[in-house]
Amino acid sequence: MKEQHFFNRHVDFALTCLDKHESGKPFHPTLHQYFKSNRQFGSRDRKTIKNLCYNWFRLGYSFGKLSRKDQMVLSNLCITESVPEWMLGLFDVFVLPPSWIEWSLQNRLEFLEKHLEWNTNEVFPEMDKMSSEVNKEVFIPHLFKQPLVWFRCKNANEYDDVCKKLSDVTIKENKALGVSAGHLLDSSGVSKQIEIQDYSSQEVFKAINLDGVQSVWDCCCASGGKSLTLLDRTKSINICASDSRKSILSNFIKRTGRHRYRVWSAVVDLAKPISKIKFESKQNSVEKTAPGFDLVVADLPCSGSGTWNRNPEFKSASQHNVLKYRELQQQIVQNAWPFVKKGGRLLYTTCSVYKAENEDNLKSLNLDGMEVVNQGYVHGYEHDSDTMFYAELKKI
Ligand SMILES: C[S@@+](CC[C@H](N)C(=O)[O-])C[C@H]1O[C@@H](n2cnc3c(N)ncnc32)[C@H](O)[C@@H]1O
């Protein structure tokens, strides 16, 4: 049959593409390169190959006893809602019942648990180390579908105008806006009015009281997502921002350009203790010694496990380095803490769901005058977004 033949060919292409991927690295560049060097594929071919690969990352890789090809075919049979009947015959390790095509994903997974010596928990690495605050019943199903792309308006006054221009947009109470991946935001004419930022990252600042905050240090700023949220929302603050990666700072400076009179930056490696920092802007420089800030934002490097629904390729990596991250997180917080003024606060955030990087790590911090005033998760898996942990630490 023609359809069957084409599908088999696509499975072979997808397997070739997966072979080119280096474990632990983002998959998107591999896919991009593969399509660039195989220009014969049309857009439907590309879509099928891409879906087959991502379904393998979402689910297939966990069927450890099967060949890669069977893993790919079976994960596709589980995740695809409307499966044509002929496709059932492509999986021949054991017989899938004809009623499969009408079953929900949950029914299909329950069937596999009985016939495959496999458990649904295997779709996420080290599930037993996940925080008990995370609701696994909801968390697991969210791993099988692509989350929304979230953004916010740069200028709150333009919110109504942006909403009007967009169709099929999800609107949250915190005014985060979400569209399905592949939505052509550019053609809606909103790209200059919005900042792409996950729902959870927007939500996390709600947990912290910004009254009276004037001086902020974003000590793991990357390209400035968190700084931009603060700058756009709160006109009274100035931000010093740093990261250990020099290469990312030019991005940061470009993105925060519209606030350039309120932003200074520096390269700072917080794995080591530091006594003073010289932050620079286009206009001038400021030297900061401890304690210099009302608020330190520590958006820490982490396993990223709360974002593995968006980037499922990281789940199948051979190493997850959670303990290495935990140590680095402790060093960064310890070295940043002296810069918090008395009565000031440090916002500890990760996009991890492992307790070792979050609540357990907090317990092992031994910082002068530290009081945990607020901690918890933004449960992104309930909102088609990433999951984050936050803790507000006050210096008393
Ligand atoms: C989770 S990302 C920050 C994301 C950013 N806040 C945002 O909203 O887009 C963590 C950042 O920590 C930085 N980092 C890693 N090790 C560091 C260190 N030793 N000192 C300072 N920053 C570090 C990384 O370069 C990375 O950009």
Q: With the CA atoms of 33, 37, 43 and 49 taken in that order, what torsion angle do they form, in degrees rounded to the nearest 10?
A: -60
Give nearest CA residue, ligand 1 atom 9: 225
Taking only the tens of pLDDT, the chain with its 396 residues reads 788 999 999 999 999 999 999 999 999 999 999 999 999 999 999 999 999 999 999 999 999 989 999 999 999 999 999 999 999 999 999 999 999 999 999 999 999 999 998 999 999 999 999 999 999 999 999 999 999 999 999 998 999 999 999 988 999 998 999 999 877 777 888 999 999 999 999 999 877 888 899 999 999 999 999 999 999 888 889 999 999 999 999 999 999 999 999 999 999 999 999 999 999 998 999 999 999 999 999 999 999 999 999 999 999 887 889 999 999 999 999 999 999 999 999 999 999 999 999 999 999 999 999 999 999 999 999 999 999 999 999 999
Ligand 1: distance of its center to the CA of 28 in Å?
21
Task: Find out whether the beta carbon of 378 lies less than 6 Å from any atom of ligand 1.
Answer: no
Check if 243 has its Cβ closer than 6 Å to any atom of ligand 1: yes
CB 263 within 8 A of CB 256: yes
Question: What backbone phi and psi angles, to 5 degrees, belong to 291?
Answer: -95, 120
Spell out a b/e string for 202-225, using b for 16 or more CB atoms within 10 Å of the CB, else e: bbbbebbebeebebbbbbbbbbbb
Residue 147: the pLDDT is: 94
Cα(56) to centroid of ligand 1, in Å? 29
Tokens read off for 330 = 């402790």
CATH class of the domain defined by 209-395 = alpha beta
| pTM more than 0.75 | yes
Q: Are 120 and 109 in contact (CB under 8 A)?
A: yes
348 C-alpha to ligand 1 centroid (Å)? 12
Distances (CA, A) of 246 to 34, 264, 269, 275: 30, 14, 10, 20
Please report the atom of ligand 1 found closest to the CA of residue 201. Answer: 8
Q: Is 220 in the pocket of ligand 1 (CB under 6 A)?
A: yes
State residue 233's pLDDT score.
Answer: 86
388 lines ligand 1 (CB under 6 A): no
Which DSSP string corresponds to 306-344? GGTTTSGGGTT-S---HHHHHHHHHHHHHHHGGGEEEEE
Contacts of 286 (CB under 8 A, 6+ apart): 240, 264, 278, 279
Ligand 1 centroid to residue 167 C-alpha, Å: 34
Tell me if 332 CB under 6 Å of ligand 1. yes
Report the separation in Å between the CA atom of 110 and the middle of ligand 1, taken as the mean of its atom positions: 40
Ligand 1 pocket test, candidate residues 195, 203, 216, 243, most atoms within 8 A of CB: 243
What is the 248 CA–ligand 1 centroid distance (Å)? 9
Token match 């949220």: residue? 229
Q: Which atom of ligand 1 is nearest to the CA of 331?
A: 19
**Backbone dihedral angles phi then psi of residue 93, each to the nearest 5 degrees:** -70, -40
Residue whose CA is at the smallest distance from ligand 1 atom 7: 225
- Six-digit token pair at 204? 């996390």
* 307-to-32, 143, 177, 210 alpha-carbon distances in Å: 21, 9, 18, 27
CA of 245, closest atom in ligand 1: 25
Kindly state if the Cβ of 353 falls inside 6 Å of ligand 1: no
- Is the CB of residue 245 below 6 angstroms from any atom belonging to ligand 1? yes
DSSP 22: P
Backbone φ, ψ for residue 134 (5° rounding)? -85, 130
Strands, sheet with 263-267, edge to edge from the N-terminal-most edge strand: 285-289, 276-280, 263-267, 238-243, 215-218, 293-299, 340-350, 388-395, 370-378
243 neighbors 268 (Cβ within 8 angstroms)? yes
**HEC string of 334-389?**
HHHHHHEEEEEEEEEEECCCEHHHCHHHHHHCCCCCEEEEEEEEECHHHCCCCCEE
Write out the DSSP string of 163-231.
HHH-SS-EE-TT--EEE-TT--TGGGT-TTTEEE--HHHHHGGGGS--TT--EEEETT-TT-HHHHHHH
Q: Rounded to whole angstroms, how far apart are CA atoms 145 and 59?
A: 11
Please, which residues bridge with residue 279 across strands? 286
φ/ψ of residue 312, rounded to 5? -65, -15
What's residue 228's pLDDT? 94
Determine which helix (DSSP H) or strand (DSSP E) holds 111, and give its type and residue range: helix 105-115
How much distance in Å is there from the Cα of 300 to the middle of ligand 1? 6
- Please tell me the predicted confidence (pLDDT) of residue 211: 87
